[in-house]
């Protein structure tokens, strides 16, 4: 029977860092999830690493085991992504942070004549402000990874007379709407 993997006793400094990471809203989502595996075991020592992984949201039981093994061997550095093969990223983490910062701001507070960001508007505004062109797919994937969701923009409102008594006159002839 294989030996059960257990979380080594973290130092008090490591416990504070793990607790901070597990609740972080500004760290990378994957790093937070990895810290949540460790925090689940710290909170409930009876949890196995695979159960802690499932508590943190991993679908595969081996994920929790992997992160406990890496923490045991490397400490907090083991939670970081390892270098991967392939082309290096085209844009730095600073560019990504600047885009996310821009996306969190309301366009009108920045002097734009619209209230909502669209992908095209965000792309143009970012290029104007930082002189960096980001592809649609890059913007989309960065925002998706951070948990942003595009909302369907609605150009109608349910009770036109309530918002503008002269709506029907301004609209002109329409198909059956009075």
CA atoms within 13 A on the CB side of 56: 35
Hey, what are 14's tokens? 């490591």
Hey, what are 121's tokens? 């508007």
Per-residue pLDDT of the chain (178 residues; tens, 9 = 90+): 467 889 999 999 999 999 999 999 989 899 999 999 999 999 999 999 999 999 999 999 899 999 999 999 999 999 999 888 888 889 999 999 999 999 999 999 999 998 889 999 999 999 999 999 999 999 999 999 888 887 776 666 666 666 777 776 777 776 555 5
Hey, what are 115's tokens? 């209230």
Cα separation, 51 vs 56, in Å, equals: 9
């Amino acid at each position: 029977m294989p030996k059960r993997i257990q979380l080594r006793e973290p130092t008090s400094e490591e416990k504070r860092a793990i607790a901070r990471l597990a609740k972080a809203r500004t760290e990378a989502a994957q790093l937070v999830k990895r810290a949540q595996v460790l925090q689940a075991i710290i909170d409930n020592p009876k949890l196995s690493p695979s159960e802690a992984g499932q508590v943190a949201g991993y679908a595969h039981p081996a994920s929790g085991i992997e992160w406990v093994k890496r923490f045991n061997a490397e400490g907090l550095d083991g939670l970081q992504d390892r270098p991967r093969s392939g082309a290096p990223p085209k844009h730095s983490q600073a560019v990504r942070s600047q885009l996310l910062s821009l996306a969190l701001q309301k366009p009108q507070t920045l002097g734009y004549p619209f209230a909502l960001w669209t992908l095209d508007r965000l792309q143009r505004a970012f290029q104007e402000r930082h002189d960096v062109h980001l592809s649609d797919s890059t913007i989309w994937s960065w925002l998706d990874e951070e948990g942003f969701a595009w909302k369907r923009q609605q150009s109608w409102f349910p009770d036109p007379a309530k918002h503008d008594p002269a709506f029907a006159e301004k609209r002109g002839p329409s198909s059956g709407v009075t």
